[in-house]
Amino acid sequence: IIDAEVLSVSTQDYDPYGASSLVLMSDSVGAHLTKSHLCAHTYPDVLDPRGLCTFRVDIDIATCGTIVPLRALDYMFESFANDVAIIDYAVRGFTRDAEGKRVYMDHALRSIQDFIDPQVLRAYACEDMNLPDHNLWQTKLMRTELEPADYFSPGVDVEAPENRALFEALRREMVGIHQGIE
């Protein structure tokens, strides 16, 4: 996906809930010092007083060399059933050109959305918050159409008043997560 070779993998489970893993990658075997990594942290939330269960995965991709992490976004959307996704892209390092001038960005970037399949984007309301002068980009996505039956166990009457109320509470939870509000 991102043309990298895996050099090392580390995982850790947390009690009672959660896990993290780290993958050290390189764009060539001989370039161990120009390493990159993929790190995933899970945050299951089963303590909501309304009985809502949410599951958050934070995936950090740090790259050097020719590895472009934004190319992995379609794979991430295929791998996870995202109702809300918040994607940050930050350029922290620099290189120098032939004249010694610092170069922070070696590629143009208008929006993170440009790296996501348009078919995927159609399922979401999308919002960009970019600070290109600071080499920071963020895209927030929230699924626009939800099927209540997808959020309940098979055989549960999703039209029952208490389940409709739970589904509306879940929708408000998603909006709060998307907008970063309580």
Residues marked as catalytic: 36, 41, 64
Euclidean distance between CA atoms 87 and 23, whole angstroms: 19
Are 27 and 15 contacting, i.e. CB atoms less than 8 angstroms apart? no
**Matching residue, tokens 């509470």:** 169
C-alpha to C-alpha distance for 46 and 53, rounded to whole angstroms = 5
* Amino acid, res. 144: T
Confirm if 130 and 121 have CB atoms less than 8 A apart: no
Here the tokens at position 149 are 């039956």
For the chain, helix, strand, coil in percent to 5 are 25, 35, 40
Contact of 4 with 67, CB cutoff 8 Å:
yes
What is the token pair recorded at 153?
């166990």
